[in-house]
C-alpha cells in the first residue's frame, strides 16, 4: 500500500497499465511534455516515449476521432479532454460513432478506449471549467460512465476501464484531485465496473452520491448523527453506467428514505434517474419523499461557486425533509 491523492491514483493506474500492455497510449492537449494541465500524466512521456504519450492540436473532435480509429485498429487509447467543458466539439464522435460501433458492425468491431476528463466545480473556474455533464453521456447506449471518489477507486476503476472492450467516459472530480488522500494498492489493482460501494452503513436514510459529493455527504452524515441522531447510509455507485441498482435498492428498502446528491443542474440530472429507479422498484418501502440535492438550473457561477455547489448544510436539510412527510 502507498498513500496517494486521487490524482496520483489515476497516474499510478496509467503507469501500471501502460507497463502491462504496450497497446495502451495517452494523448491530448499538453499531456506529453507538460504532463497535463493538472499534471496527471506527468512522467509518462519520459518513460514511454513520444509514440505512446504525445501532445495533440487543440481539436477535441480530432482527438476523439483519432482515438476511435486507434481503438478499432486494435490499440487501447486513453485520450484526455483537458476539461469536461471542452468535450462538446467531440460530442458527435463520442455519441454517434464510438458508442455505436459495436452495434452498427453487428459485433464485428469494438471500440476499447477511455476518455479521461476532469469535471465539476471546486477550483473557481466558472462556467467554462466547472460543468458536470455526466447526464448527457449516461443517456447514450453503448457508452460506460465512471466517476471515482477515492484514490484506490481511481486507480482500480481506470485499469478496469482500459481493459474494457467498449468506450468509457472516465470523469475525474477535480475538486478532490489533491485533497482526497488514501491507501492505494501497489501494482495490480482492479475495481470492477458496475459495482458500487457502501461508504458508511446506516439505518435511517440512504444518500446516493458520487465524485466530490461523497466527501460532502460524509461530513453531512456526521453532522446529522451528532445533532439529530439520524443514522445515514451512503452509497457511492462508482459507475453510473452500468449502475449497481441492486445495492441502491437494498439500501433504500432497509432505510426507507432516499436523498440523491449531485453537483450538476437539478433538472435532468442523474440523481433524478436514481430516484425513478427507486420509485419504480421500491416505492412500497419509502417512508418519506425522495429528495434531490443538486446544483441550480443556471450556468456555473464564478463568484458564487460555494452557493451553487451542494454543501453540508444543504445535504443536512435534504435528509431532514425526508422525515417531514
Catalytic residues: 129
Q: Is a pLDDT exceeding 90 seen at residue 126?
A: no
Residues 22 and 130 in one domain: yes
Q: What is the CATH number of the domain that holds 252?
A: 3.40.50.920
Are 295 and 174 found together in one domain? Answer: no
Residue 233 lies in a domain: yes
Cβ(254)–Cβ(203) under 8 Å? yes
Give CA 30 to chain center in angstroms. Answer: 22
Report the pLDDT averaged over residues 141-152: 98
Name the band, by pLDDT with cuts 50, 70 and 90, for residue 187. Answer: very high
Say what the pLDDT of residue 64 is.
98
201 and 148 inside one domain: no
The boundaries of the domain holding residue 299 are 197-321
Within-domain flag for 191: no
Categorize the per-residue pLDDT at 125 as very low, low, confident or very high, splitting at 50, 70 and 90: confident
**Per-residue confidence at 312, pLDDT binned at 50, 70, 90?**
very high
Residue 215 domain flag: yes
Let me know if residue 208 belongs to a domain. yes
Ranking 91-105, 131-145, 247-261, 295-309 by mean pLDDT, the lowest is: 295-309
> What per-residue confidence (pLDDT) applies to 165?
97
Q: What is each CA distance from 9 to 5, 48, 83, 108, 180, in whole angstroms?
A: 6, 18, 19, 34, 10
- What confidence score (pLDDT) does residue 302 get? 84
Task: Answer whether residue 210 is part of any domain.
Answer: yes
Residue 192 belongs to some domain of the structure? no
Residue 154, CA distances (Å) to 58, 181, 240 in order: 26, 11, 14
Q: Which string of DSSP letters, residue by residue, matches 199-239?
A: EE--SSEEEEE-TTHHHHHHHHHHHHHHHH---EEEEE-SE
What integer pLDDT is reported at residue 117 of this predicted model?
98
* Phi and psi angles of residue 233, each rounded to the nearest 5 degrees, phi first: -105, 135
Query: DSSP assignment of 105-168, as one string?
Result: TTTS-----EEEEEESSSS--GGGS----HHHHHTSTT-EEE---SHHHHHHHHHHHHHSSS-E
Count of helices and strands (H, E) across the chain: 12, 14
Residue 12's CATH number: 3.40.50.970
pLDDT value, residue 92:
97
pLDDT at 271: 98
Domain count, the chain: 2
303 confidence band (pLDDT: 50, 70, 90): confident
Q: Residues near 299 by Cβ (< 8 Å), separated by ≥ 6?
A: 127
Whether residue 229 is predicted with pLDDT greater than 90 in this model: the reply is: yes
Last residue of a domain, one of 184, 211, 233: 184
Does residue 163 sit in the same domain as residue 28?
Answer: yes
190, part of any domain? no
pLDDT digits (tens, 9 = 90+) for 26-71: 999 999 999 999 999 999 999 999 999 999 999 999 999 999 999 9
On the question of pLDDT at 162 being above 90, the answer is yes
Note whether 179 and 225 are same-domain residues: no
User: How do residues 96-109 score in pLDDT, each as one tens digit?
Assistant: 999 999 999 999 99
- Band of pLDDT at residue 156, cut at 50, 70 and 90: very high
Considering the domain architecture, whether residues 89 and 162 belong to the same structural domain is answered as: yes
Do 176 and 313 belong to one domain?
no
Q: Say whether both 140 and 21 belong to one domain.
A: yes
Q: How confident is the model at residue 239 (pLDDT cuts 50, 70, 90)?
A: very high
CA angle centred on 195, ends 141 and 138, rounded to 5°: 25
pLDDT at residue number 152: 98
Residue where a domain stops, chosen among 124, 154, 184: 184
Q: Are residues 211 and 152 in the same domain?
A: no
Choose one of 184, 218, 251: the last residue of a domain.
184
Pair 129, 253 in one domain: no
The three grid cell numbers given for residue 173, joined into one nine-digit string: 472530480
In a domain, 171, yes or no: yes
Mean of the per-residue pLDDT values of the chain: 97
Share of the chain above pLDDT 70, in %: 100
The pLDDT of 233-255, averaged and rounded, is 98
Same-domain pairing of 178 and 201 = no
Are residue 179 and residue 231 in the same domain, yes or no? no
pLDDT at 277 over 90: yes
Nearest-CA neighbor of 130 among 324, 308, 279, 316? 308
Digit-coded pLDDT (tens) for 69-98: 999 999 999 999 999 999 999 999 999 999
Amino acid at each position: 500500500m502507498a498513500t496517494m491523492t486521487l490524482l496520483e491514483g489515476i497516474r499510478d493506474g496509467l503507469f501500471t497499465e501502460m507497463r502491462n500492455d504496450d497497446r495502451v497510449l495517452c494523448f491530448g492537449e499538453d499531456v506529453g511534455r507538460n504532463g497535463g494541465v493538472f499534471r496527471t500524466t506527468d512522467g509518462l512521456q519520459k518513460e514511454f516515449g513520444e509514440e505512446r504519450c504525445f501532445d495533440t492540436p487543440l481539436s477535441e473532435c480530432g482527438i476523439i476521432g483519432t482515438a476511435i480509429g486507434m481503438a478499432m485498429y486494435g490499440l487501447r487509447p486513453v485520450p484526455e479532454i483537458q476539461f469536461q467543458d471542452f468535450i462538446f466539439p467531440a460530442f458527435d464522435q463520442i455519441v454517434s460513432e464510438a458508442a455505436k460501433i459495436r452495434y452498427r458492425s453487428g459485433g464485428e468491431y469494438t471500440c476499447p478506449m477511455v476518455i479521461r476528463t476532469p469535471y465539476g466545480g471546486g477550483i473557481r473556474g466558472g462556467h467554462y471549467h466547472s460543468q458536470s455533464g455526466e447526464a448527457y453521456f449516461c443517456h447514450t447506449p453503448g457508452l460506460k460512465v465512471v466517476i471515482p471518489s477515492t484514490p484506490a477507486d481511481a486507480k482500480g476503476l481506470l485499469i478496469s476501464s482500459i481493459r474494457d472492450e467498449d468506450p468509457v467516459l472516465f470523469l475525474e472530480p477535480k475538486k478532490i484531485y489533491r485533497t482526497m488522500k488514501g491507501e492505494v494498492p501497489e501494482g495490480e489493482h482492479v475495481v470492477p465496473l458496475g459495482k458500487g460501494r457502501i461508504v458508511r452503513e446506516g439505518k435511517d436514510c440512504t444518500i446516493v452520491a458520487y465524485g466530490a459529493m461523497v466527501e460532502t455527504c460524509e461530513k453531512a452524515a456526521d453532522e446529522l448523527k451528532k445533532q439529530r441522531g439520524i443514522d445515514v447510509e451512503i452509497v457511492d455507485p462508482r459507475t453510473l453506467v452500468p449502475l449497481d441498482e441492486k445495492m441502491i435498492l437494498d439500501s433504500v428498502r432497509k432505510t426507507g428514505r432516499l436523498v440523491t446528491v449531485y453537483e450538476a443542474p437539478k433538472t435532468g440530472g442523474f440523481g433524478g434517474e436514481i430516484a425513478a429507479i427507486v420509485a419504480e422498484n421500491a416505492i412500497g418501502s419509502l417512508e418519506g419523499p425522495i429528495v434531490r440535492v443538486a446544483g441550480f438550473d443556471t450556468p456555473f457561477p464564478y463568484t458564487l461557486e460555494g452557493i451553487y455547489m451542494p454543501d453540508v448544510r444543504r445535504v443536512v436539510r435534504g435528509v431532514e425533509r425526508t422525515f417531514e412527510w
